Structure 1
Amino acid sequence: MFSIGEFAALGRVSVRMLRHYDAIGLLRPAEIHPVSGYRYYQADQLRRLNRVIALKDLGLTLEKVADILDDKVGIAELHGMLRLRRAQLEAQLSSDAARLTRVEARLRMIEEEGHMDTEDVVLKGVAPARVAELSARAASYEGEDIGPVIGPLYQEICRRMDVAGVCPSGPSIAYYTAAPGETGDGQAVLVHAAVEVARDTGPGREFDVLDLPGIESAATIVHRGPMDEADRSMQILARWIDDNGYKPLGYAREVCLQMNENPANWVHEFQLAVSKA
């Protein structure tokens, strides 16, 4: 079972959204603690969450989404809705094209439900690393809020490192923490664009240098392909964590192992700190 904050992070949605879905009866928690009132969710509920997000991103109202889900909409019907919405979105600007990419990624996850291979998940320790980084606030942990923040951050940290004559000594590592003033429950996050560097970076730099702590026990998975499809790998991690009796701690780190002009060739390792539940 996952707390509402943990479930939000694994499903890459906000806690605010889950609370709203609960309030309107669209996605109820699997269990509510009788004393504290805390909400708890099961990994299997990611199935319904995937469908809710895909249908909502197709432009349907939440009331219509509820009607469709209650009638147990099938993959064929979702494909039909996607094709109809595609014709509308192609006439709009790049922001709508990005939304379509997210819809397609969610649809692929729905098609693969029940066939996600958790054998690719490895439990291991992660060593600490000295990193140069810049950080900025994102409205939420949702992909549509993270993307416009992290891209410019990495462009800027690379520019500043070049000006300072600092060369990377290892991979880039994107990680996330609760934004100042937030409780860490899936609302606004601080996006950290970090690059591993040597111990001595010299004076006069215009970026932060810090020691990123190691992780004693991390559930890890290698994600191949564009980051638009990162949700699939995150949900494999969620299944493995649930099946093996672990509890997620915070947000996953994203370690870039390979990147070139073609996002299909990108390789990242996701590292999520865990403890026994």
Structure 2
Amino acid sequence: MKDKLSIGEFAKLRNVTTETLRHYDRIGLLKPIKIDPKTGYRYYSILQHEELGTIKELRQLGMSIDEIKKYFNNRNLKQSFNILKDKHNELRKRIKELQQLEESIGEKIKHLEDISQVSDFHDIVIKEIKEREIVTFDKSIKNEIDLGYACIELENALKEISPIVASNRYGTIRKQKDIESNKYTESVVMFLFIKDKENIDEKYIKKIPKGTYACMYYKGTIWDMEVNLQEMIEYIKKEGYRVCGDVLQIVQIDISVTDQSEEVLFEIQIPVKKY
């Protein structure tokens, strides 16, 4: 049983690498008790085991080197308590973020699994859809440049983790009056479905009412809606329905998950009522 240990012996004793100990020496976190002036060999005391063990555990708690230095600076009960409490709060926040991220990824996987099974493109079906909430700034888009700025503005309004990639939350609105006047691209407005209203100005939040919708999937671009919309309007009239609200165009598969244009998928949803 000896007090003075070589760097290799001390590293093995505490299950760290010798390079870790050299790094701690260089940055002044844990200095050896002696360095042989001739050989440059570092020697540590067995009495330093507690300090190295504490450093290991603080690193496991996610503390940075600077935070650990602060922890060891004039250590006392109150300071150690406050530092650990702060780190605990940080970890709880991170755990919450990871739980939200896990939920988000699960929803994305479920969406892609479901939407990949769709094969009845251009078939029109009647669905009952629950109430939804969106955020929109009611700015008309006319081209790809307008679209790019609108997407950025909407994404910046969300305070969620990874809200857009592989999701079906983007969409556009065509006003009912424009549809009835055959002005399908007169006033196209971008929106995003929202899950969490926190930090979003209430004046930009709107409700999409629950109800009966005529729906159809199509492949193409956001601007390829007109011919499909005309087909849907004819179907709606033929089946004894009437349009009773604004038309939604929802991105189901977009460039966040594919660069194959033939895989990009949209859904048109038109609120309808029986005459």
Q: What is the TM-score with the length of structure 2 in the denominator?
A: 0.44
Which of the pair has the greater relative contact order for Cα pairs under 8 Å at 6+ separation? 1
Q: Which has the larger radius of gyration?
A: 2
